[in-house]
Amino acid sequence: MPQYKVAIVGAGPAGYFAAQALQNLQTDELKFSIDMIERLPTPWGLVRSGVAPDHPKIKTVAKVFEKIATSDGFSLYGNVELGTDISLDVLKAKYDAVVIATGSATGKKLGILGEELPGSISAAEFVPWYNGHPDFANHEPNLDCDTAVVIGAGNVAMDVARMLALEPSELDATDTATHALEALRNSKIRKVVISARRGPEHAAFTSPELRDLPKLEYTNVVMSASDVSAALERAGAEPEKEVRNNLEAMRLISELEQGKHARTMEFQFLCTPKEFRGNGKVEEVLFNTSAGEEKVIKCGLVITAIGYVAEPLAGISYEKGKVLNAEGRVGENLYVVGWAKRGPSGVIGTNKSDAADVMNLLVADMKEPKPSVDLISLITTNKVISQSHWESINAAEIAAGEPHGKPRIKAVSREELLRLGGL
C-alpha cells in the first residue's frame, strides 16, 4: 500500500485544511503521513495571532485543527523555520510533496512621505503585538495621544480601530496579551478615525462586523448619514448583495445617537492619505479629499491596514506578494495554499475549499512513494515542539486564564513557551 510523505510548512488554517483534505482523501489503498512544520512554538497561525481577542467564537475553529493534529499519521514540528532550521531543497528531496502554507504577514506600505516616522506602524505589527506573537511583544505603539488614525477599509482596519476604541475593561475576559492589556488600560486615545480612500459602497468591511458595531457599550460609532446616502445613490437600484448588506448596516450606524460615551470610533470616506507629518514623530495626517481639498487630522498614532504581502522564501518565486503558482502548483512536488497562494483575502473557511482543490492536484501528481524520512535528523534545532509539547503549552495557558475568567493567558516569549512545553 503506498504511503506518501507530505511536508506542510505553516500551521495556520491553510496548513491544517490541507492536512484535513489529505486525511479525507485516504483510502485502504492510499495513506499519507503528514509532517507539519511551524516557525513558532505555537500553531494555529492567524487564528492565534490575527483574529481579534474580542471575537472568541471565531477562534473555536482551533478545535477542528486539534482534531486534525491528533489523527493518525500527523506530526507537528513547531519552533522549526523553513529557510533557517531546514531548507526547501532538503524537504523536496525527502518528501513526496511539500505544501507551502506560510501565509502573508508583512504589511503593505502606502509609500508616502512620513510613513517611517515614529508613531506610524502597520497593522501587521500592531495586531500581533496585542495578540502576543513572540516577535512583536517589544513593540511600543504610541498610545499617549488623544487621536489615532487607522488607514484602510477592511476588517483588519476595523479590528484595529475597535481594539483602540474599546473600554479596556471589555478586554479583561479575552486572551489579549497581558502587555497589551496593560498598555491599553493606560491609553489616552479617545478618538479613532478609520479612513477609507473610496466611498462606503466600495469598503471591504463585511456586514456581520459592521452590524456588531452598534452593540459596543462604551464607544460612540460615528458615520455620516450623508456619506451613506450618497453611497446608496452611487450604488444604484440593484447593488450586489454584499454591497446592499453593508450599506444597510452602515445606515443603521449613521442613525446611532452620538456623544454618549468618552470614546469614539469615526469613519471617514473618500480621503486619500498624502503625508504623515510631524517633528520627529507623527503629529498629523494630511489627506486629499475627493472634492480636491486638503484635510488634516491631528494624531499621535497612525496605523496602516491596507493589506499584506508574503515574506519571500529562498528557492520560491513571488509575484505581487504571492507565491507564483498555477492553481496551487509551484514546481515539481511543490504546492502552495492559503494566503501565500491567494494573497490576504477571504475568511478562515475560504482556505478550506482552496486547500482541498490543491490537495486533489497533489494526489493526481503522485508517483512512486519515496523511502521513509526522519525529519528530526534533518532539523538543525534541537528544541522542536511536538503535538504533545504544544498540548502542554495549551493546557498551561488555559489553566492560567481560568481564575481570571479568560479563555487563556498567552505565554509570549519563546523561552516561556518552550518552558511550558517542557523543553
DSSP 8-state symbol, 326: B
When the beta carbons of 33 and 102 are compared against ligand FAD, the nearer one is: 102
Number of neighbours of residue 117 by Cβ within 10 angstroms: 16
Cα 130 from Cα 127, distance rounded (Å) = 5
Give the number of other Cβ atoms within 10 Å of residue 242's Cβ.
Answer: 12
Smallest gap from residue 50 Cβ to ligand FAD (A): 3
AA identity, residue 238: E
Stretch that binds ligand FAD, among 6-14, 141-149, 220-228, 283-291 (CB under 6 A): 6-14
Contact call for residues 264 and 253 (beta carbons, < 8 A): no
In the block, which residue shows the cell 492510499? Answer: 30
Four-point Cα dihedral 152, 157, 161, 166, nearest 10: 160
Q: Which of 20, 34, 41, 45 binds ligand FAD (CB under 6 A)?
A: 45
What's the length of the chain? 423
Contact residue for ligand FAD among 41, 53, 103, 154 (CB under 6 A)? 103
Residue 29 sits at φ, ψ, to 5 deg, of -95, -15
d(CA 258, CA 244): 24
Instruction: Convert residues 109-138 into a mask of x (bound to ligand FAD by CB under 6 A) and - (unbound).
Output: ------------------x-----------
Residue nearest to ligand FAD (CB): 12
Q: Please identify which residue in 6, 21, 22, 46 interacts with ligand FAD, judged by CB under 6 A.
A: 46
Smaller CB distance to ligand FAD: residue 296 or 347? 347
Contact at 8 Å (CB) between 128 and 135? yes
Among 6, 7, 8, 11, binds ligand FAD (CB under 6 A): 11
Residues 58-77 that bind ligand FAD (CB under 6 A): 58
Does residue 354 bind ligand FAD (CB under 6 A)?
no
Terminal Cα distance for the chain, rounded: 36
**Binding residue (CB under 6 A) for ligand FAD from 348, 375, 379, 420:** 348
Between 13 and 114, CB nearer to ligand FAD: 13
Residue ranges binding ligand FAD (CB under 6 A): 9-15, 37-40, 45-46, 50-51, 55, 58, 81-83, 101-103, 105, 127, 156, 159, 313, 338-340, 346-348, 351
